[in-house]
């Protein structure tokens, strides 16, 4: 029996790996260019996002940087490919500037040149107090599965977009701040759970977020793909009851 020639063996090997290679390329391309899922581990964005939500993030929304890639290759640039900045009210997923290994999600509140300040619990942008109206009462989910009551408000940003916020107390630690002037190429991000959010109101030196460079933006959170209230699922028999079907495929606003 004659053996196969070296050339035919190479062709068979290439044919065998061609399909998986194409599939892998498509997966990596979609995660780099289109969208990527992320999981919410904390309640800093309640009531908009809950602990256990899985988000679909549009990675193309603000262009592409080193953090758009599945693996950080280490190169850095002040500008992004097809660069654009968030709009007021966008829910943004980003790499923490002081520790890029960590991924955070917050709402875009300030753009380059804006002056941001908290006065007696109210948000001021460029010398104007933002409209705020009461919107009932809500509950903040804690990481251990317990809940605490919180006043719910609707806040209107300078572009007319409204979004909900929670207030746990009338005089929180971050309810009165200095004026923050957002530097060029940066954004100012805050959590909707105003009294329980480590965000741009706290400097990186103090262990907070500080101003976020455009390079660190991963994308805009678009949809809740699924949601699971894992703290209440202590046993396998409780896993199904921990699902939140009403949040599946919910649009993030």
- Burial-class residue 103 by CB neighbours within 10 Å (0-12, 13-18, 19+): middle
Catalytic one among 42, 65, 68, 106?
Answer: 106
Rg of the chain's alpha carbons, rounded to an integer?
A: 22
Assigned token pair, 166: 């929670």
Catalytic one among 44, 68, 200, 227?
Answer: 44
DSSP track, 115-174? EEEEETTEEEETTEEPPEEEEEEEEEEPTTS-EEEEEEEEEE-TTS-EEEEEES-SS-TT
24 three-state secondary structure: helix
Pair 51, 143: CB distance under 8 Å: yes
Scanning the structure block, which residue is given the tokens 């919107």?
Answer: 135
Question: What is the end-to-end Cα distance of the chain in Å, rounded?
Answer: 69
DSSP track, 218-243? EEEEEEEEEEB-GGG--SGGGTGGGB
Assigned token pair, 233: 């699922």
Q: Is 167 a catalytic residue?
A: no
Distance CA 136, CA 142 (A): 20
Residues designated catalytic: 44, 106
């Amino acid at each position: 029996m004659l053996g196969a020639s070296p050339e035919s063996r190479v062709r068979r090997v290439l044919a065998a790996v061609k399909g998986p290679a194409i599939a892998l390329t498509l997966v990596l391309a979609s995660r780099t260019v289109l969208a990527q899922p992320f999981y919410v581990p904390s309640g800093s964005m309640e009531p908009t996002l809950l602990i256990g939500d899985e988000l679909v993030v549009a990675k193309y929304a603000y262009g592409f940087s080193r953090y758009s890639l599945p693996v950080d290759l280490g190169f850095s640039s002040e500008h992004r490919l097809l660069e654009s900045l968030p709009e007021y009210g966008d829910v943004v997923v980003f790499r923490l500037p002081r520790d890029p290994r960590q991924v955070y999600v917050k709402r875009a509140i300030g753009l380059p040149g804006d002056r941001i300040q908290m006065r007696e619990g109210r948000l001021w942008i460029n010398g104007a107090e933002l409209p705020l109206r009461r919107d009932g009462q809500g509950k903040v989910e804690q990481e251990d599965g317990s809940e605490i009551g919180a006043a719910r408000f609707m806040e209107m940003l300078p572009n007319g977009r409204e979004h909900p916020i929670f207030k746990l107390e009338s005089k929180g630690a971050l309810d009165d701040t200095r004026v923050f002037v957002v530097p060029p190429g940066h954004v100012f991000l805050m959590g909707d759970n105003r009294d329980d959010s480590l965000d741009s109101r706290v400097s990186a030196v103090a262990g907070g977020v500080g101003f976020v460079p455009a390079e660190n933006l991963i994308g805009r959170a678009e949809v809740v793909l699924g949601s699971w209230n894992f703290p209440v699922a202590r046993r396998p028999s409780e896993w199904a009851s921990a699902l939140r079907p009403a949040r599946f495929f919910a649009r993030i606003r």
